Structure 1
Amino acid sequence: MIGKIAGFELKYQLTSPAFIAIFAIFFLLAFGNSASDFVQIGSSSTVNVNSPNAITLIILIMTVFGMIIPTVFLVSGVIRDFGLNTAGMFFTTQVKEHDYLIGRFLGGYLVTLLAFASIPLGTAIGAAMPWVDPENLGPFVFQYYAYPFFVFGALNMLVIGLIMFTVGNLTRSNIATYTTFAGLFVLYLVGNTLLSQPEWRDIVAIGDPFGISAYGDVTRYWTPA
């Protein structure tokens, strides 16, 4: 039953305008970062655009802005059902509430991962464009894209998704959910700005929920080679 609910949610969300729009926006940002000098996210111009460090940085940075992805896809199913008063119909059948919630979450999380996959995909396709200077490119290695996607991207989307799904399930309110998203986003940006001094680096690295500060500390003195 969980699989059927997750499958329904997956099919429903993949055909929604929200999925198409979010996928396109994040794809174009990642594509522009690799294929153009006018868009630069994370890495410096001295590093190959498809190097492991550059790919990891763009995935890490985009997880902050990508908080909107699980907010949209993991919460909409639950709020939609309760808003339309259709959730009660599920519970009059053999569907148990925990099966319903797990199914909705799994389906929404899979959609979230597919939407976030636009970032490594856009990065790879952008790096393959014929006008990109070969001197700024390294060899294509699938692991360079897969590792940071699953270790950083998928995990960060899971943590944010759990928070948003819990808020949405408890409040049944889009306003409460998006207020939580906005609050977390602003709190993260303000916190990093206020604690940007060198003496706070260790504390920020430990407290950064996305791992960006910790990764930055580890790679701070790495050379382009």
Structure 2
Amino acid sequence: MRPLVIVGAGGMGRETAWLVERINARKPTWNILGFVDDRRPDESLLLGYPYLGPVRSSLNKIIHEGIRPAVSVAIGDSKARFGVVSGLFNMGIRSFPALIDPDIDVHRSVNIGEGSIICPGVILTVNVVIGKFVIVNVASSISHESKLGDFSSVMTGVRISGNCRIGHGAYIGSGAVVLQGRAVGEAAVVGAGAVVTRDVEPRVVSVGIPARIQRWIEVKPDDR
């Protein structure tokens, strides 16, 4: 089995370990070496897998030992995930498999990019495009001809209708609904339980039913 390191030891990382266990139960594929995280986690929650240490030093040690692991960046926050992946690319790491639950409902026309994580209970209908390093969390559904941009995050129980566009780095909170043909702009946040009835502008936080702008997201120099 191929060695795999999970970046992020929080809830998303642990759910990714569970996802990998489900993949291995169907076809032994991955040997989870452990978790790396710059913040030391509660190791009692890591499902029996080791905490290997901070991201950069731990991966450098593994590579120095002659192991070339695949890496899954299991961080729910879109901006943080983008930053970590950029750092890993700078280290020369290039193996980022898409991890897809073997029991999801997915049509053959669906396209899923590298590094993406597709959790149990997800439904992807026809001609759906999932970009790179996207997270689609448990029990979400994405309907016909919808497109999710790179580094976007779809949390638990989200419903995205047909012909929707979710921008690069956008975050859709748990239980939110995006109605037919709507667009969510780059780096926008849709709050948990919101219903998107009109397009959401880039870099805003929208909440409520119907979703309305709560505030603008400050753009820092490092975000440009």
- TM-score, with length taken from structure 2: 0.24
Relative to its length, the structure with more strand (as a share) is 2
Structure label with greater radius of gyration = 1
Indicate the structure with greater helix content: 1
TM-score under structure 1 length normalisation: 0.24
